[in-house]
Amino acid sequence: MDKLKSVLSGQDDGNADGSGILERANQASTLAWGTRMKGFLICFILGAFLSILGSCLLWIPGFGLPVFAVLYSFGNVCALASTMFLMGPLRQLKTMCAKERAIATAVMLTCLVLTLCAAFWWKNKGLALLFCVLQFLAFTWYSLSYIPFARDAVIKLFSLCMN
């Protein structure tokens, strides 16, 4: 359990001398493990709640689409930001840009912006829903990259379904 805490808090980056910039930044702004877990849970639950609330408000005539786009997108940002409590903001940004997550991160953020554009400027409910679905799929693919062999399992599952 201590090893898991040290990895998630950014204190175990494989650097024996402890001089990594991420470790120094993490030590400068450390939170207690319990505080990190509380922040993670609050942020993640808030993100899920906002996304679900936005989905429920989509069908309200007149103002449903912009409210949906804002709440759903902000919910995804909150859920994504929740992991910053576990590993710290610098390490989170570094892992988001790692080669195995870079495409999923770019697609997710692009679809997030396009969801807001479709709702506010283009006022197109179909496009907003399409970008939301793509945003969800990219976020799911991004999240699966943190679970060992999860992406491979999903690819195998889909290849079995296609045969």
Residue 3 lies in a domain: no
Number of H helices, E strands in the chain: 8, 0
pLDDT at 38: 94
Kindly list the averaged pLDDT for each block of 10 residues, start to end, along the chain of length 163.
Answer: 59 52 57 90 96 88 88 94 89 92 96 94 90 94 91 94 87
Residue 17 lies in a domain: no
Residue 12 lies in a domain: no
Secondary structure of residue 3 in the 3-state scheme: helix
The total number of structural domains that make up the chain: 1
Residue 23 lies in a domain: no
Residue 20 lies in a domain: no
Separation CA 122–CA 115 (nearest Å):
10
Separation CA 89–CA 106 (nearest Å):
18
Residue 11 lies in a domain: no
Please give the residue range of the domain that contains residue 67: 31-162
pTM summary value = 0.75
pLDDT at 9: 58
Among candidate residues 36, 29, 27, 28, the one with its CA nearest the CA of residue 5:
36
Q: Are 86 and 36 in contact (CB under 8 A)?
A: yes
Separation CA 155–CA 73 (nearest Å):
26
| Side chain identity at residue 75, one-letter code | G
